[in-house]
Amino acid sequence: MLRLKSFFCLGLCLGCGSIMAAGQAVPTASQASSLSVFGGLTGVYTDLDGGRNLGITAGVDYTVGGYRRFHPGLEIRGTYPIVDGTQAKEKDALVGVRVTHQTGPFNLYGDFLFGRGEIKYIAPFDVGTLQYLATDTNIYSPGVGAEYDLTHHFAVRADAQYERWGTPAVASGAVWETVLTGAVTYKFDFNHHFKRPKRDFDPAISNH
């Protein structure tokens, strides 16, 4: 649990550092970079004897520059269980790269995330002389998704991650989980619109 929190804090610090550094390098009026946050519900198919659970997911996306509507960026996300699963309940913290392709109001993206997670088993199980109640593991997660802009600031999104979790609960020592998330996104606007300041009215000037 402590390692999971430490990893999430490290990812958040690295992400914030990247955001600040890139933000200083890019003029605010250009909007060449963007920052957004998202939150929603996540359904997890754990691959442990058909197990499932439900959680909440929240995250941050930072996108920079781009070429021909392709925009690379950084994503940080975490998932916490809100309903006990049929076999296990899980929480994780992930960070990684994301590439977005923008087509009108649609934003299609693919990502690769990595991080740490914890599996708590609903019923303890025995392996030899050991009894397992929970497992901490590394996670590797490729994924794809789509986002649709509703307004200048708000969008809805849906994505799917395919996650590898290590666990002694199966003979292979690892499971590949399917993680489906539906969320709402809020996009910050740092493209300040500067207006020409109004001059004080001077009758002497206006008469010339």
User: Is the distance from CB of 100 to CB of 109 less than 8 angstroms?
Assistant: yes
pLDDT digits (tens, 9 = 90+) for 82-116: 987 788 899 999 999 999 998 889 999 999 999 99
Max intra-chain CA distance, the chain: 99
Q: In the chain, where are the structural domains located? A: 2-22+36-191
* Backbone torsions φ then ψ of 5, nearest 5 degrees: -65, -40
Share of the chain above pLDDT 90, in %: 57
Query: What amino acid is encoded at 174 in this protein?
Result: A
pLDDT digits (tens, 9 = 90+) for 6-50: 444 444 444 444 444 434 443 333 356 889 999 999 999 999 888
Pair of tokens at residue 152: 């200048």
Task: Please tell me the pTM assigned to this model.
Answer: 0.75
Where does 2-22+36-191 sit in CATH, by number?
2.40.160.20
pLDDT over 50 at 139, yes or no: yes
Query: What amino acid is encoded at 35 in this protein?
Result: L
User: Is the distance from CB of 97 to CB of 71 less than 8 angstroms?
Assistant: no
